[in-house]
Structure formats: C-alpha cells, structure tokens
Structure 1
C-alpha cells in the first residue's frame, strides 16, 4: 500500500492476523514524485519475494519492482499485443520490469531492458526458470542508454511509466525504424505526445483501452504502430 502521509497509521500485529495479511507493506511515497516511489517503508510484513501467474507463466517479482495488479485484464491486453508480434523477427522490450510482457509474447530472440535493479534480478530468475538463457538478454539500463539493441525491421514493445518515453527514445525509433511499435501506456496523455512524434514515420493500426483500475479515472491504453511504406 503506497500512502502520501508519512504519519499514516500502521496495523497492529493482531489486526494483521485478523485480516490474514501474509505479504503486506505500507510505503510512504513522496507526494512530490509523479509516480509511486519507495521513500520510506512504514510497515513490512513480507518476505519481499512475490509470485503471480500470467498466461500460464509464473513470474517472480520483488516489492521494489513493478508488477500489474489486475491480472485478468492484463492478460487480455497481452493477448491483443501478441497478435502483432512477428515471431520471425527479434523483439526488444523497453521498460520491461520483470519481463512479464516480453517473456509471454516475445519471440525467441528477445532483449529485455529495465532500469530497476531489483526487477532485473527477478527478470534473470524468470529467464532461467523458463530455460531461455540462450535466446533472451536481460539489460540493466535506462531505455535511452540501451537504444543500440533496437534493430531495423524488429518488433519493439514499450510500456513506460506515466511520464512516457524519453524524447531521445522517440527520435532513435524514428532513426532505426523497427517494423512495429507496440505501446502500452498507463497515461494516454503522454502516450499521445509520443505517438505524435512517431507519426512522422509510423501509422496507427490498432487502439484499445483497458479498465485496469475500476472506479478510478485511470485506464491503460494500447496503441500499435506500423512503419509507413
């Protein structure tokens, strides 16, 4: 649970037992940050190693890393994304987290790029567990520092934070010209900004919104872009 009040009231041991919370944390996130961040742990009742199944694949992840919470809707989004992956071409997954997108829908030649060291640690475990060490590369780096892995004619998957893609990433995509850009976003406003830049060379072939966060104003949005001929 991320909270914006550092003086948030924590649960007593008796309350945790009554609620049957086995893996639970309360984390203070600096309200000045545009995204949820671990500023201070207020309460920790977890081994910090979690696991969830996505499209039949079990993924490890840590509390310090990102993972989607609405798994049934997430799986629908992944099925939609999978339709646009050319399995004969290499796939690069930027902002990949623990690899839950790339490892479920990516082809054999797959590169996963992630800035969070905790996520990459779990990603490497997931790759090993799936016996894909020979065909999957795990890169610990900001996406804008790993652009050499994007190849002309390849599949590119991006799922950036709310701030969207770095301008440098957008410009490099236009320069290298991957065949498809499969863009999942939790912020349609910054996604629209990035797509406007990419529209110099790309056309939209698919759009769909997903209700990842019921009863909130937030949605997840998928846009698939194809290189113009």
Structure 2
C-alpha cells in the first residue's frame, strides 16, 4: 500500500474545487486545488488504508508560507536568471521558471529571487548551477543561502557570494561545489563563504541551534503540536523520572523541547546522530536546557545500545526515533526487540515505512497512541506520531 498513491485516488474526485494559487502547483503542492478541510479528510482516509486503523490527523494552523527551507533550481533565459523547478518526469533535464513558492514565506521568496538575479549581474551561467538552497529561521527571520554549482569560474562565484551576502536579511551566503552526478545535498568543497552556517529556531520555548543546510523539521507550528501531544502521553505513561534515548537525533530539538516541557522528569538524554555537525549542535542544545547529556556521533547501526552503555535501563527509559523516509534500520529494529525501552515514541515522515515498522515491532510493543500531523499542507506528505509500550 502506498500512502501518496492512495491519497491521490481519494483526492482526485474533489480536485478543482478551488483555483490553484500557482500555475506550477502540480510540481510542489498538488493539493492546492482542494479545500484544506478536504485535504485533511483525504489524508485521514489514506492513513486508514495504509495503517489499517482510523487515525485522526491534526490540521496545521498555517497552510501557506510554513516551510523553513526550499531547494530551487535556477532557470536561465535572455532576460536573466530566475528561480525554477525541475519539471515532473524530466529527471532534472528540463526546468520550469517560477517566481517563488507559496509554501515558503514572502521574505524567503524575495531573497531567493534576488539571489537568482544576482547570478546574471556577475555574469554567471545558470547551466553551471545545481541548486539554490534557502533556509529561514521562523523565529528571527534570518535567511541563509547556499548556491550549489558543478562548474563555472570560481571568481564569479566568489563575487556572487559577496553580492548576496550583503543583501538585507541574509545571515550568510555560501557557494558549494559538487560534481554534476552528485546530489546537491552532498557538496564536496566550499568555494566561497563560511564553511559552517548556523541558524537558531525557537521550539516550545527552547532556542535550538542547527546547521542551516542540515535537517530540521519544516513546519515549526506542527512540530510544537506534536511535541505537546507527546509530552502529554509521557506525563501519563512514563516513570516519574526517566532517561531519553534520542535516536536519529539531528540537533536534538525533540529531546531538548521535551526536557523543557517535562522539566524535572527527564533525568538525562543519550543521543545518537550520524552527522557530526548535527551531533555538535545537539550537545550545545541539550546543555542549554540544563539536562545531563551524552551525544554519540557516528553510524547508528554501529553505536546503538552498546553493551557497555552505563545508562541502559529499559524500565526507566523512553526512546525517541525520528528516522528518514526509509524508516528504522533493521539493526535498530532488532535491538529494540531485544532490549528496547519501556516506552518508544516513533516520529514518522512516511506512513508506508511506519506501517512496516509497527508490524515488525508488534510482538514486542503494543500501541498506546497514534496520531497524524499535517506538517505539509497542500502536499502528498504527512507526519505521524506513534507511542508504543513494551509488552510484559
């Protein structure tokens, strides 16, 4: 069962009830032509089909301009360089010019447009670029920019970085090089600008520092609703004092916010994160909330639940997992089955792999709570929170 396919089937009959806000809506947000209340109902129905149970979906209070980060293509023409999307089905070979995206804020769109236009001003060619990444802090309004290139003259890229870095509202600008066949998310070297770019976001009253171009949840409002829901469940079900194992931790915004929401009950945090820059940010963020913390950077499959881990106490531990779309690594599933904690909170960005992982854990854990959160209104994506209790 494929969540996106089921959602499209459910939504197709009601499509066209509204006029889309953008001509290119089918590329980035294909549900624009559907009233938002109908979008939520369709996502609930699709989630029911995929998970085999009725699951409420918490709607987003903000349905436009919510995204914190955008990755644009760049479209060159005789009139200059514009923002663009890769056309659907073109495998990156054809671009569609756009003025921005309604899922991002006006501020982010305006700065991104100026950054694209600056390429023409310095005589650079859009064909040498791979992507323009724009990342915004919703708390401060600061925007960081990364231009990813695979060719061209470095002198022009350095000039672009100087011009764009001086734009009002731009916290930092960076030019990164990668080979043409390499993903834009994996630059090989920095040509111009700072090697490390950081932003700060406020989550449930906690200031969280994170790498501007690394992973961070895109919808802060829904992220806070999910955390409040999780804190309410843990307040009822978790031991009076417990240790949090934050797996796939990122910059540890989830465990840092929970430590604040459940102040006095979270005794310590053990966090694991593959990306060392994110692991460094996690250490800093957990220190900020005053909780004892140990952050391990490295491959989660190798470091998870080492036998010599002195903090291992399954009866007084809560694990948080927030894996990528591929879901839990098989090693993580096996270790959770063997000696997982009393409570497990699973934050999923892919209902399909969530269904798979819940089935794998069914013999070890029972489901205590399950709820969908519409982090991405107008799109085919959905987040979900599952809280599981270890069977006796």
Match of residue 136 from structure 1? 293
Match of residue 244 from structure 2? 91
Larger Rg: 2
Task: Pick closer, same or farther for the CA change 1:212–1:36 going to 2, 3 Å.
Answer: farther
Task: For residue 108 of structure 1, give the secondary structure of its aligned residue in structure 2.
Answer: strand
Residue 26 of structure 1 contacts residue 41 of structure 1 at CA under 8 Å; is this kept in 2? Answer: no
Structure number with the higher helix fraction is 2
Match of residue 12 from structure 1? 117
Task: For residue 208 of structure 1, give the secondary structure of its aligned residue in structure 2.
Answer: strand
Unaligned runs of 5+ in 1: none
Task: Pick closer, same or farther for the CA change 1:13–1:144 going to 2, 3 Å.
Answer: same
Residue 24 of structure 1 contacts residue 45 of structure 1 at CA under 8 Å; is this kept in 2? Answer: no
- Quote how far apart the aligned CAs of 1:212 are: 0.5
Counterparts in 2 of 1:191-210, with a 5 A limit? 191-210=354-373
TM-score (norm 2): 0.50
Q: Which piece of structure 1 moves more, 5-14 or 219-228? A: 5-14
Match of residue 185 from structure 2? 37
- Quote how far apart the aligned CAs of 1:178 are: 1.1
Residue 287 of structure 2 contacts residue 293 of structure 2 at CA under 8 Å; is this kept in 1? Answer: no
Match of residue 120 from structure 1? 279
Residue 2 of structure 1 contacts residue 36 of structure 1 at CA under 8 Å; is this kept in 2? Answer: no
Match of residue 152 from structure 1? 314
- Quote how far apart the aligned CAs of 1:141 are: 2.1
1:62 corresponds, among 208, 211, 214, to 211
Task: Pick closer, same or farther for the CA change 1:44–1:76 going to 2, 3 Å.
Answer: farther
Q: Using the alignment, how far apart are the partners of 2:219 and 2:190 within structure 1?
A: 25
Task: Pick closer, same or farther for the CA change 1:36–1:217 going to 2, 3 Å.
Answer: farther
- Quote how far apart the aligned CAs of 1:130 are: 3.0
Q: Using the alignment, how far apart are the partners of 2:383 and 2:192 within structure 1?
A: 29
1:11-64 deviation line (CA, Å, top 9, x unaligned)? 13399xxxx98422345899999x983347999888711010000000111124
Q: Using the alignment, how far apart are the partners of 1:50 and 1:144 within structure 2?
A: 29
Is 1:165 equivalent to 2:270 in the alignment?
A: no
- Quote how far apart the aligned CAs of 1:171 are: 1.0
Residue 158 of structure 1 contacts residue 184 of structure 1 at CA under 8 Å; is this kept in 2? Answer: yes
Task: For residue 164 of structure 1, give the secondary structure of its aligned residue in structure 2.
Answer: coil
1:68-127 deviation line (CA, Å, top 9, x unaligned)? 121011000001111233251211010010010011114121111111111012112223
Aligned length: 223
Q: Which piece of structure 1 moves more, 146-155 or 169-178? A: 146-155
Q: Using the alignment, how far apart are the partners of 1:114 and 1:78 within structure 2?
A: 20
Task: Pick closer, same or farther for the CA change 1:219–1:40 going to 2, 3 Å.
Answer: farther
Task: For residue 83 of structure 1, give the secondary structure of its aligned residue in structure 2.
Answer: helix
Match of residue 167 from structure 2? none
Match of residue 53 from structure 1? 202
Q: Which piece of structure 1 moves more, 179-188 or 62-71? A: 62-71
Unaligned runs of 5+ in 2: 1-69, 73-85, 87-91, 98-114, 121-140, 150-177, 260-265
Q: Using the alignment, how far apart are the partners of 1:116 and 1:24 within structure 2?
A: 20
Q: Using the alignment, how far apart are the partners of 1:214 and 1:208 within structure 2?
A: 16
Task: For residue 376 of structure 2, give the secondary structure of its aligned residue in structure 1.
Answer: coil
Task: Pick closer, same or farther for the CA change 1:26–1:151 going to 2, 3 Å.
Answer: farther
Is 1:175 equivalent to 2:324 in the alignment?
A: no
Q: Using the alignment, how far apart are the partners of 1:77 and 1:113 within structure 2?
A: 21
